[in-house]
Amino acid sequence: MKTHDQHGRGRSRRPGRSRLLAAVGATALVLSAGLTTPPASAAPRAATVADARAAQGTAGAQDSAGSKGSKGSKVLTVAVAQSVDSLSPFLAVRLLSTSIHRLMYEYLTNYDPKDGHVIPGLATSWQSSPDKLTWTYTIRNNSRWSDGQQATAEDAAWTFRKMMTDQGAATANGSFVANFSEVSAPSPTRLVIRLKKPQATMTALDVPIVPKHVWEKVGDFSKFNNDKSFPIVGNGPFVLTAYKPDSYVRLRANTSFWRGAPKFDELVFRYYKDQDAAVAALRKGEVSFVAGSPSLTPAQAASLKGQKNIHVNDAPGRRFYALATNPGARARNGKKFGDGDPSLLDQRVRHALFMAVDRRTVVGKVFQGHAVEGQGYVPPRFATYFWKPSAGQELRYDPAGAARLLDEAGYRRNADGKRVGKDGKPLNYRLLCHATDPNDKAVGKYLQEWWGKLGIGVTVDCLDNVTDPWLAGKYDLAFDGWSVNPDPDFVLSIHTCGALPATPKDTGATDDFICDRTYDQLYARQLAEYDPAARAKVVKQMESRLYDLGYMNVMAYPNAVEAYRTDRIRSITTMPSAAGNIYGQDGYWSWWSAVPANSGDSSGGGTPSGVIIGIVAGVVVLVGLAGFLALRRRATADDRE
């Protein structure tokens, strides 16, 4: 979440969006970067069915070796605790899935790994009309699909038009095109998007562009998972060649990738239901990298620090860890569904629950200092949009105050000390928990204790698959978490009324069925606002509104804690480069840049040359845009996520 990390979306949901950056600053960055000229493009090599069969044949014992794939190849194996929800970029919302899509498909723009500002992707440049209602993108002529065909503006136009006209295709990323009125491709290198009203996210359309000649054959986009025929045609740095649900995803380096081929020949994501087993596999050299779920626990990280040939990366994260309440599942057609406890429709009850949560204990005892206390919806890593409540607004840890709120709401203690409503029914909540996340289980025990003292019963339901009951609205509360991007538009959009499913039978982009008209009005204002300071002010008002509603309560901002073997990986790019995450980035930099330990390549951990090339390509357009707007960063996932 979803790039939920959790409920699927990098729930941490999606990796990557970015929005607008000052043209002058971008130009200065380019001038100081020590620029190089791009290397000649490698000869195109299309992945073949033989590649897929070879990959499937080596996916067992050779995966477990961590460094051996097809004979003589260099394989990077990553242990993950999340399974794939879909290999269709039109449906996927989990952090793992959307991260894989970034490896498979190009987006119009990308984000510099150093600081997340926008740089060229499939589009080499872009410009807006004076009224900001028409955007024209120049599509690069050196990007090819892995089956050998040229990637063109028509592929991008078709991708967006399909999302505009097919509800199934709009499941994951429909918010990006809701304001589009027309999309065309006048030439193979020219894409034109016309808007209904100004949209500040036009340099951060976090949508994988797919090959029209492949996807136009798909029937039902709401059901097609893109997981039956391999290799899957793409134009990213890797080509997906094999997949086994809840087991592994195998990708082969795309030697014709326009930025240059990855240095590892193959990349394998191997699923571990038990995170301790994944850590043990790292120690034994069966995998080269452990991502956690999405982070390692403090105990796991401590056990790895100081170990020979193992490096632990511990950096400020881009996600939040929260409690979500069921506000009454409903669809856009007005139909209600699910079985959330009606007591949670009372704001006083929701506030009381959060006032009984000791966030200091969550950070100190559960995360053991590898996190900071949660406040607003956007983590402090993104200073432009970081918000925290005022002293009078804050729902501080106050069990006595929580008890008073419950009394006011009509839920008083009976003779047994249980909170009961006017109907005499005691408050007993079901709390959805991710079975693969040790933090959920640990925090769940604290909540049982804290809420138990208030007279509220709690059943912690730790499931391998929380997505099904979540989407069906069959829960009371749930652990939630999303990877936020430098630009928070996507994670803000999932709480709008428009994100609700069309009918109870459909799947929407909503996180937990929040629908508030005041919030929607603020969302529309920020989306149409090009002035960075003015937009940030509105975004903070949205965070304040979410906080006061109390449907989503942020407990902590966890660090990104992950580990890899230095005898397998010589160097790898973090994002941001100074102190950032490796897994679940706003881009493909980590896996694309990773250098095998036994490689003769002397690349260090700095900004890859291909990134510098991309920055150079974007200078002209950034200067051209300076006359009418200041570009600002917009990046998720997503965690989109």
pLDDT of residue 633: 28
CB 448 within 8 A of CB 367: no
Query: In this predicted model, what pLDDT tens digit does every residue of 543-570 receive, in sequence order?
Result: 999 999 999 999 999 999 999 999 999 9
Report CA-CA distances (Å) from 1 to 84, 377, 509, 608: 11, 14, 10, 28
Segment 392-413 shows an average pLDDT of 97
* Secondary structure, 3-state, 262-279: CCCCEEEEEECCCHHHHH
For residues 583 and 415, give the distance between their C-alpha atoms in angstroms, rounded to a whole number: 51
Who wins on pLDDT, 145 or 53?
145
Query: In this predicted model, what pLDDT tens digit does every residue of 465-496 receive, in sequence order?
Result: 898 999 999 999 999 999 888 888 999 999 99
Within 10 angstroms of residue 592's Cβ, the number of other Cβ atoms is 29
Q: Residue holding tokens 């408050």? A: 427
Binning pLDDT at 50, 70 and 90, where does residue 58 land? very low
Query: In this predicted model, what pLDDT tens digit does every residue of 258-285 receive, in sequence order?
Result: 999 999 999 999 999 888 999 999 999 9
pLDDT of residue 601: 52
Radius of gyration over every alpha carbon of the chain, rounded to an integer in angstroms: 24
Query: In this predicted model, what pLDDT tens digit does every residue of 584-631 receive, in sequence order?
Result: 998 999 999 999 998 765 333 334 434 433 433 443 333 333 333 333
| In the predicted structure, residue 126 carries a pLDDT above the cut 70 | yes
Query: In this predicted model, what pLDDT tens digit does every residue of 333-374 receive, in sequence order?
Result: 999 999 999 999 999 999 999 999 999 999 999 999 999 999
- Mapped onto helix, strand or coil, the DSSP state of residue 84 is coil
Reduced DSSP (H G I as helix, E B as strand, rest coil) percent helix, strand, coil of the chain, to 5: 30, 20, 50
- Paired tokens of 388: 């925290």
pLDDT of residue 631: 32
Q: What is the mean pLDDT of the chain?
A: 85
CA dihedral 343, 345, 348, 354 (to 10 degrees): 90
